[in-house]
A and B are shown apart, each in its own frame.
Chain A
Amino acid sequence: MASVTLSEAEKVYIVHGIQEDLRVDGRGCEDYRCVEVETDVVSNTSGSARVKLGHTDILVGVKAEMGTPKLEKPNEGYLEFFVDCSANATPEFEGRGGDDLGTEIANTLSRIFSNKSSVDLQALCISPGEHCWTLYVDVLLLECGGNLFDAISIAVKAAVFNTRIPRVRVLVDEEGSKDIELSDDPYDCIRLSVENVPCIVTLCKIGYRHVVDATLQEEACSLASLLVSVTSKGVVTCMRKVGKGSLEPESIFEMMETGKRVGKVLHSSLQTVLHKEESLGPKRQKVGFLG
């Protein structure tokens, strides 16, 4: 992962500041940086979103393609995650350099979404055992400024919210052969409910305290962090410890509590922004990367 090298003095400055609940950029320990979200930025996808969290810049594209359901789940569609850590973010990712991190993030995402309560996968089924929609969720990492997991989960949620899947009907004729008919109206589409889609909140243990939304510099001071995926109701659906250090059991519970609290606020503000943007309709001026 992209990293910065800090001197001992810089680290002490950051750690001492956090103990006083004051971070280098003036935030408190439970504050996020300003998040910019824009949906529908790539027009040849079924849904897309761009999220900028400080210097972290994420673009997510969702493409719906028709496929066959998995054998063990004949009446469900599925989501496929792919994370491309492009060389744009840092030269270390050139060639195959970003593959490890990409796979790690993609696995984390698919673990969160494989939970039945996250997305209604049955809505993606067209005809059980034969056809279903496969949603390819492709994450493109454009700039890396710390707290990748949170930014990516926000972007994925926004992109899934924006996804429109064309409505299809299965027609059965007299001989029993099936035909798939696509609706004539391009606006006739299915949308997935993102009500229960969780967001990841990463809590970085720095000194005796923990912070949310760590910058690259703060990540360099932290030995271990906890990923908590929280739904809008504050339910924890997945948890993972990352980093080379170790954590005490008590601090894990403390971090979980913070994660739930922060996650709820994050969800409600994201929902507000998404609905607000949606209400502007097709007349909305798209900013994309030109703004």
Chain B
Amino acid sequence: MAGLELLSDQGYRVDGRRAGELRKIQARMGVFAQADGSAYIEQGNTKALAVVYGPHEIRGSRARALPDRALVNCQYSSATFSTGERKRRPHGDRKSCEMGLQLRQTFEAAILTQLHPRSQIDIYVQVLQADGGTYAACVNAATLAVLDAGVPMRDFVCACSAGFVDGTPLADLSHVEEAAGGPQLALALLPASGQIALLEMDARLHEDHLEQVLEAAARAARDVHALLDRVVRQHVREASVLLGD
């Protein structure tokens, strides 16, 4: 084990959280006026923006149009100043491409794409500050942005990461915990049905422990759902006051 103790004997983590505790989440919908939908989320020190354009006509080559459903197009980029060490380019590197692909998979599972055949939905996420759990923050921000755009979805998509230290599953890993190199699980959940939209597991973990870790991630994702749901309701309430209903 490395010099850093990730979980103390008293059951506290490096930043003082309990094993299953999330970092503070703050979110806002409708950040930008020009986009069809936009949202901003802060999960601890991880900050992400998501913007949705569409559904609109296919841009570029017509050949990409799908006859039976909408094309979901995702781009992930992370600001050059978002990480501790400065990044050379914001997008186009391997990690960003992979992240874009994962987001696309996640949202193809959640958006009712068959309602908009031959059209395109763009989801762009931008990480402003990275402190662990960037995938989860991006998915959560993108969910709010898709809702803000009014694109029909099966359900919220709520994501959370989980790790495993000393026989205890930890929810919502911070950068320090990620960097320690233990097993890491990213989960995107459709909370109402309990279906999994994306599951990714890096590093080795004994099969017997998987269920525990999965359970911890799912519980954390449900907690995230409760928070996001509150944000959406608050936003709708404010919007309806503005409209004078």
Q: Is the CB of B86 within 8 A of A55?
A: no
**A86 to B131 CA separation, bound complex (whole angstroms):** 21
* A126 shortest CB reach to chain B, Å: 18
Residue A48 is within 8 A (CB to CB) of chain B in the complex:
yes
* A residues less than 8 Å from B40 (CB atoms): 289-290
Q: Which of A59, A88, A96 has the most CB of B within 10 A?
A: A88
On chain B, the number of residues with a Cβ less than 8 Å from chain A's Cβ atoms is 34
Q: Is the CB of A94 within 8 A of B81?
A: no
Q: Is the CB of A88 within 8 A of B49?
A: yes
Q: Which of B26, B33, B38, B53 contacts A91 (CB 8 A)?
A: B53
Q: A57-75 vs B: 1/0 string, CB under 8 Å?
A: 1010111010000000000
* A125 shortest CB reach to chain B, Å: 20
Q: B107-149 vs A: 1/0 string, CB under 8 Å?
A: 0000000000000001010101101000000000000000000
Q: Which of A43, A87, A290 contacts B28 (CB 8 A)?
A: A290
Q: Which of B34, B75, B83, B92 contacts A143 (CB 8 A)?
A: B34
* A50 shortest CB reach to chain B, Å: 10
Q: Is the CB of A44 within 8 A of B81?
A: yes
Q: Is the CB of B122 within 8 A of A94?
A: yes
Residue A45 is within 8 A (CB to CB) of chain B in the complex:
yes
Residue A235 is within 8 A (CB to CB) of chain B in the complex:
no
Q: Is the CB of A43 within 8 A of B129?
A: yes
Q: Is the CB of B126 within 8 A of A86?
A: yes
On whether A61 and B126 interact (CB within 8 A), knowing A94-B75, A145-B34, A290-B26, the answer reads no
* A18 shortest CB reach to chain B, Å: 23
Q: Is the CB of B124 within 8 A of A289?
A: no
Residue B228 is within 8 A (CB to CB) of chain A in the complex:
no
* A residues less than 8 Å from B124 (CB atoms): 86-88, 91, 94
On whether A87 and B122 interact (CB within 8 A), knowing A48-B81, A61-B79, the answer reads yes
* A residues less than 8 Å from B73 (CB atoms): 94
Residue B42 is within 8 A (CB to CB) of chain A in the complex:
yes
* A residues less than 8 Å from B86 (CB atoms): 63, 65, 136, 138
For A159, the closest partner residue in chain B by CB is B81
Q: Is the CB of A55 within 8 A of B129?
A: no
Q: Which of A22-69 contact B (CB under 8 A)?
A: 42-45, 48, 55, 57, 59, 61-63, 65
Q: Is the CB of B45 within 8 A of A88?
A: no
* B residues less than 8 Å from A95 (CB atoms): 75, 92
Q: Is the CB of B32 within 8 A of A142?
A: yes
Q: Is the CB of B81 within 8 A of A86?
A: no
Residue A204 is within 8 A (CB to CB) of chain B in the complex:
no
* A residues less than 8 Å from B31 (CB atoms): 289
**A91 to B80 CA separation, bound complex (whole angstroms):** 20
Residue A82 is within 8 A (CB to CB) of chain B in the complex:
yes
Residue A21 is within 8 A (CB to CB) of chain B in the complex:
no
Q: Which of B43-85 contact A (CB under 8 A)?
A: 45, 47, 49, 51, 53, 59, 73, 75, 77, 79-84
For B131, the closest partner residue in chain A by CB is A44
Q: Is the CB of A88 within 8 A of B51?
A: yes
* A residues less than 8 Å from B77 (CB atoms): 84, 86-87
Q: Which of B5-40 contact A (CB under 8 A)?
A: 26, 28, 31-35, 38, 40
* B112 shortest CB reach to chain A, Å: 21
**A140 to B40 CA separation, bound complex (whole angstroms):** 15
* B residues less than 8 Å from A43 (CB atoms): 45, 129
**A6 to B162 CA separation, bound complex (whole angstroms):** 51
**A82 to B89 CA separation, bound complex (whole angstroms):** 9
Q: Which of B79, B90, B122, B131 has the most CB of A within 10 A?
A: B79
Q: Is the CB of B90 within 8 A of A84?
A: yes
**A91 to B90 CA separation, bound complex (whole angstroms):** 16
* A residues less than 8 Å from B84 (CB atoms): 44
Q: Is the CB of A88 within 8 A of B35?
A: yes
Q: Is the CB of A88 within 8 A of B32?
A: yes
| Apart from the given pairs A95-B75, A138-B79, 20 other A-B contacts in the complex at a CB distance below 8 Å | A42-B79, A42-B81, A44-B81, A44-B84, A45-B81, A61-B81, A62-B81, A65-B86, A84-B77, A84-B90, A86-B77, A86-B90, A87-B122, A88-B124, A88-B126, A94-B122, A140-B79, A144-B34, A145-B34, A289-B49
CB-defined A-B contacts under 8 Å, sample of 19:
A42-B79, A42-B81, A43-B45, A44-B82, A59-B128, A62-B81, A82-B80, A87-B51, A87-B77, A88-B126, A91-B59, A91-B124, A94-B122, A138-B86, A143-B34, A143-B35, A288-B47, A289-B28, A289-B40
A interface with B by C-beta (< 8 Å): 42-45, 48, 55, 57, 59, 61-63, 65, 82, 84, 86-88, 90-91, 94-96, 136, 138, 140, 142-145, 288-290
B interface with A by C-beta (< 8 Å): 26, 28, 31-35, 38, 40, 42, 45, 47, 49, 51, 53, 59, 73, 75, 77, 79-84, 86, 90, 92, 122, 124, 126, 128-129, 131
| The 7 residue pairs across chains A and B that have the minimum distance between CB atoms | A61-B81, A289-B40, A87-B124, A138-B80, A88-B51, A84-B90, A63-B86
